[in-house]
Structure 1
Amino acid sequence: MRSSMKRKLKVGLVGLIQLNYRGNKQEVYNKSVEGLRKLSQELDFEFYWRKDFVVTKNDAIQALKEMEDQEIDFLLVQSTSFSSGYLIQILAQTKAYLGLWAVPEITTLGPLPLNSFCNMNLNMSIIDRFLPYLGKDAKWFYGFAEDELFKRRFEVTIRALRAIVNVKGSNYALVGGRAPGFDNLFYDPRLLMSKFGVSVDEIEFGDLKKLFFEQSVGKVREIEREIREKYFIADEFAEGFIEKMARLVCAVRELAQKGNYDGLAISCWPRFRSELGMVPCGAYAFLSDEGNTTVCEGDIVSLLSMKILEYISDYPAILMDLSSFDMSDNSIFLWHCGIGSKYYSKGQPILERHFNPGPYVDGKGWLEMAPVASMKFSEMQATIARIGNNLSEYFVMTGEFINDESKPDYFGSRGWLGKLKYFGQEISALDLMNTLLVRKVEHHFPVVKGIWDNEFIEAMNWLELSPVKKVPYKDYYQNYKLI
């Protein structure tokens, strides 16, 4: 399986103490360092720790500089024992995301050895009540590094922050603009840069078309061989489009390499049909499976959402429409023309003709086109998450793809998702549909294998995006502005 990670998250640790607390503070800190070193191998992050305790204001100033010099992404401030509230006032000025960590008491009788939790409580409160001008917040952690509460809570943070730091500095390509009429997919590139650190190069369709025709026969033939190894080709009609699919793969690869793009959003119709005599769905599927995440219809914000899911899960994401729902078993039908992926398909994806003919040509009628990559989803748990195109809100849901031959089925990439949960809470299919429609959620749904709602929510919390709240179904008109 491919990895889309650009760099590892870097975690730093400092320990705060007050000298007159009697617990073995060095033993506690050493144990914590060793525990984080093990977790750094399990969760694949870089780890740096300050060797000396922070006791005085001057220590805190030096520790802050040390962590800034190391370009730490996430700073863990451990209350190894109780400590002065002045220390967090300095350390909270870090550029990094911030976590506060308390450990359990190490004896059960006599003088309180550490008073660690109380110090974390003090420091959390100081950050908000006394330092509001910093605009800083922190996540709390409790326990030793091997404790289940700490490990699970910490892993959620590592995956969430890993996604944020990998997204920041990304550059995407928007080729050919949005698909005509899909104007709910517009976005403000200034907000995309200011909130997420993402830039977009807008490229004319003609530039990609030029690359398409410039590809060498040798390169195209090599990709054709790969295509035949990876896909089942449905018939001679689909076979007739394999050369064009391979040529498009080569062209997009070259475009991505030249621009050093982290993802591409390409307007897939109508110009591929009218000017190149093909549909690009199969090529997009091929490119995404190999690591060049490519989304259809010029949907930049879906691309952003997919990349966040990929960085969280370290697994390829896929983009779907929501085409139907079934109240009898609370399931929803996810479908798209044909971007079937080997990472999701029940069996080998199939290259076949597009279900929808076009364009219409006088004397010839409606022209059929290919290739799409068709598939049925394997049975698996999955997460669906999307940032709104206003770049201020998001939703996340989870479920399980089911195999029920009695349910309706259609050509393309598709599957029924059941056991629905919205922000971790069970939800009926009707309430889900009502929420998406009343809240005006965009019609594209990024999907990734596994349950990652906690991680996505945490990433959105750090980025200060608001959740799209559930709107239970009612028979009357519901005005979302008044809810």
Structure 2
Amino acid sequence: MLDHLQPRPLRIGLLDFGDGRDFLSQPLAPVQRQFRDALAGRLRADGHEVVLGDEVIWRNDIAVRNGKAMAAADVDAVIFNFSVWAWPQYARVAAQFCPQPIAMFSNVNPQYPGLVGMLANAGSLDQAGIRFTKTFGDLEDPAVYGALVSRVRAVAAARRLRGLTYALIGGRSLGIDTTVIDPAQWMAEFGIDVDHVDQYELVRRAERELAQGTRVQPALDYLSAHLGKIHWTAADATFRLTEELLRRQLAMYYGAIDLIEEFGYDFCGIKGQRELTEHFATADVAEAFLNDPYHPDGTPKPSIVCSTEADSDAALTMQIFKHLAGTPVLFADVRHYHADLGLWDLCNSGEHATYFAGRSTDPAVNLALTEFRPQGFYFPAGGASVYHVAAPGPVTLARLTRRAGTYRMVAFRAEFADLGARAHEVAAISQDNWPHAFAKFSCTPDAFIQAFNCNHIHGVYGDCLRELQGVCDVLGVECEVLG
């Protein structure tokens, strides 16, 4: 199930370029093979799939053949490798068939003019309007290798957007215009198709699962055994969390899974407010576990990007993060700034993946730090909110928005703080039943407020700021880095 969403390694093409004089091609071949094999071995050791050219490119017909082979292999990115002098025409011929920007690389090899070759080839590509990046240095230097892989990952993340299908479940929520996109613009700029699905489809499938399915009870049993606490209420409570409502939420999750499986959707957004939140049950449990790397019964699955309030640009930002990090992605409101702590409270109605509670792929670890608490007065239909406080660690935060129809990204580094025993006390200042991440931004509060024109923000653990900038460069999107 969900086979189309199973992660696969980056598929990286690797082409070598050489001297066009036939009496030099054979003597230089061992040198080039040595450097190619070292680069290919390093990439493979990191788990990447490497597609090699069939020989050093030293004639136009070889360039055409190998360029077409890269296209046929559907590589995510291509590295043009220069360890000796290489005639610049060949790169220009091969590049027309390859994903762009081309990642050009030259290792340290002073006995042969590989750097000269890369620079000359860069000029040739530049004249033809073919986009590229350049990396030079010792392959054994982590900074050099890291820079090369960063550029490859950026090309791959942008390229993997093309051909995706986004399920827009519902429409604009609460009048939030930044959640609404133009499907034609998405196709033109990112190659993504948008399929609009009515929220009734989730209700229909949930009711069918409740009546005929077998998945809700095992999920309920697993959550009852592993969650830190479920705060059950009476059926007539003002803010309700009953077993019936939780069953609806779990059934809605499995309805979403079936919808994604049946139509091959790659990521999604669920409107939620107001229809589901006022008349059926909140979608928070479904949204959290869609983003998680496991089902609510604890069995593993691929993380599926899902944005609440059908925020499509949120989902797109999250999908880019997922391509870069391979982990669940945060969706949050920028709720409050605690000036006394120097921390931002990133809090949303409950759709944070439980992954963030323990920063683990083991559901038992995360769920032990998670509670299901009753929804409050915003959501009269009731149900569970997925409450936890995000585990500490460095993160990268970002958001795609549009200015007069043109996409831009704001991105920056941050740190999720560890407030220890105070975490729940501080969380209750704003919302005691929704999930929180307390973040120290790398920029001043005013710099953030002036630059950030959206209520929703997204991110992952780790530092992928350089890769985000690379993705924006590939996509032709302005990227404003704060801090």
Question: Which TM-score applies when normalising by structure 2?
Answer: 0.84
Task: Pick one of 219, 226, 229 that aligns with 2:222.
Answer: 226
Residue 79 to residue 171, structure 1, CA distance change in 2 (3 Å): same
Give the 3 Å change call, closer, same or farther, for CA 262–66 of structure 1 in structure 2. closer
User: Following the alignment from structure 2 to structure 1, what is the Cα–Cα distance between the partners of residues 175 and 159?
Assistant: 33
What 5-or-longer segments of structure 1 have no aligned partner? 107-112, 360-367, 422-426, 473-483
What's the counterpart of residue 331 of structure 1?
Answer: 343
Shift in Å, 1:9: 2.8
**Matched letter for residue 153 of structure 2:** R
Contact 2:166 2:267 in 1 (8 A): yes
Residue 325 of structure 2 corresponds to which residue in structure 1?
313
Counterparts in 2 of 1:69 and 1:51: CA distance versus 1, 3 Å: same
**Cα displacement (A) at 1:28:** 3.1
Aligned residues of 1:35 and 1:146 also touching (Cα < 8 A) = no
Shift of residue 316 of structure 1?
0.7
Q: Judging changes above 3 Å, is the alpha-carbon distance between structure 1 residues 341 and 382 closer, same or farther for their aligned structure 2 residues?
A: same
2:271 maps to 267
Q: Structure 1 residues 150 and 29 mapped into 2: Cα distance closer, same or farther (>3 Å)?
A: farther
State whether residues 15 and 52 of structure 2, in contact with CA within 8 Å, keep that contact through their aligned partners in structure 1.
Answer: yes
Distance in structure 1 (CA, Å) of the matches to 2:78 and 2:379: 55
Q: Give the aligned partner of residue 254 of structure 1.
A: 258
Q: Secondary structure at 1:201's aligned position in 2?
A: strand
Cα root mean square deviation, aligned: 2.6
Which residue does 1:413 correspond to in 2?
435
- 1:424-443 matches, within 5 Å, as 427-436=443-452, 441-443=453-455
Partner of 1:42: 45
In the alignment, is the contact (CA less than 8 A) between 1:233 and 1:239 conserved in 2? Answer: no
1:242 touches 1:371 (CA, 8 Å); kept in 2? yes
Contact 2:334 2:344 in 1 (8 A): yes
2:128 to 126, 131, 154: 131
Q: Which residue of 2 aligns with 1:120?
A: 118
Give distance in 2, aligned partners of 1:254 and 1:292: 13
Q: Which residue of 1 aligns with 2:98?
A: 95
The 5 A counterparts of 1:182-201 are 182-201=176-195
Supply the distance in 1 between the matched residues of 2:142 and 2:27 (Cα, whole angstroms).
Answer: 23
In 2: Cα distance, 1:442 partner to 1:264 partner: 19
CA shift at 1:30, angstroms?
2.1
Unaligned 5+ segments in structure 2 are: 234-240, 295-302, 359-367
> In the alignment, residue 118 of structure 2 is paired with which amino acid?
M
What is the SS of the residue equivalent to 2:377? coil
In the other structure, the counterpart of 2:375 is 354
Q: Which amino acid aligns with 1:355?
A: G
Cα deviation digits, residues 444-480 of structure 1 (max 9, x gap): 111211111111111111111112365x9xxxxxxxx
Partner of 1:81: 84
> 2:334 is paired with a residue of what secondary structure?
strand
Task: Give the Cα–Cα distance (whole angstroms) in 1 for the partners of residues 349 and 8 of structure 2.
Answer: 33
The residue aligned with 1:375 is 388
Which deviates further from its counterpart, 211-220 or 444-453? 211-220
**Equivalent residue of 1:385, what SS?**
strand
Tell which deviates more after alignment, 302-311 or 341-350.
341-350
1-side partners of 2:379 and 2:86: how far apart?
Answer: 71
One-letter amino acid of the structure 2 residue matched with residue 392 of structure 1 = Y
The question of 1:204 aligning with 2:180 is answered no
CA shift in 2, pair 1:205/1:325, >3 Å: same
Aligned equivalent of 2:163: 169
Match of 1:325, SS state, is strand
Deviation (angstroms), 1:387: 1.5
User: Partners in 1 of 2:217 and 2:230 — Cα distance?
Assistant: 20
The 1-side partners of 2:417 and 2:27 are apart by 54
Q: CA deviation at 1:62?
A: 3.3
Task: Give the corresponding residue for 2:10.
Answer: 9
Residues 71, 98 of structure 2: 8 Å contact kept: yes
Distance verdict in 2 for CA 1:5–1:162, change over 3 Å: farther
2:411 aligned residue (387, 396, 410):
396
**Which one is further off, 248-257 or 90-99?**
90-99
Shift of 1:24: 6.7
2:196 aligned counterpart, secondary structure:
strand
In structure 2, distance between residues paired with 1:53 and 1:62: 11
Give the C-alpha shift of residue 76 in structure 1: 1.8
Secondary structure in structure 2 of the residue aligned to 1:94: coil
Please tell me whether the aligned partners of residues 5 and 314 of structure 1 are also in contact (alpha carbons under 8 angstroms). Answer: no
| Preserved CA contact (<8 Å) 2:399 2:410 | yes
1:40 and 1:372 mapped to 2: Cα distance?
Answer: 42
Per-residue CA deviation, residues 364-422 of structure 1 (Å, 9 max, x unaligned), is xxxx722110011111111112221446211111111112328832321112211x23x
Aligned length: 441
Q: For 1:341 and 1:397, locate their aligned partners in 2 and report how far apart those are by CA, in whole Å.
A: 21
Cα distance 1:243–1:83, how it changes in 2: closer, same or farther (>3 A)? closer
Structure 1 residue runs of 4 or more that deviate by more than 6 Å after TM superposition = 20-24
Answer whether contact 1:21 1:82 (CA < 8 A) is retained: no
**Could you tell which deviates more after superposition, 377-386 or 141-150?**
141-150
Post-superposition offset of 1:230:
4.3
Partners in 1 of 2:86 and 2:213 — Cα distance? 70
The Cα of 1:340 is off from its aligned counterpart by 3.8
SS in 2 for 1:179: coil
Whether contact under 8 Å (2:103, 2:152) holds in the other structure is no
Give 1:297 shift. 0.3
Q: Among the aligned pairs, what percent are the same residue?
A: 16
Query: What aligned pairs does 1:96-111 form with structure 2 within 5 A after superposition?
Result: 96-97=99-100, 98-106=102-110
Preserved CA contact (<8 Å) 2:392 2:418: yes
Matching residue's letter, 1:15: D
Separation of aligned partners in 2, 1:381 and 1:53: 42
Deviation of 1:140 after TM superposition, in Å, equals 0.8
**Does the 8 A contact of 1:79 with 1:101 survive in 2?**
yes
The verdict on how the C-alpha distance between 1:230 and 1:264 changes in structure 2, with shifts beyond 3 A counting, is farther
Q: What corresponds to 1:365 in structure 2?
A: none
Q: Indicate if the aligned counterparts of 1:221 and 1:246 stay in contact, CA closer than 8 A.
A: no
Native 8 Å contact 2:168 2:197 kept in 1: yes
* TM-score between both structures, scaled by the size of structure 1: 0.84
Determine if contact 1:21/1:114 at 8 Å carries over to the other structure. no
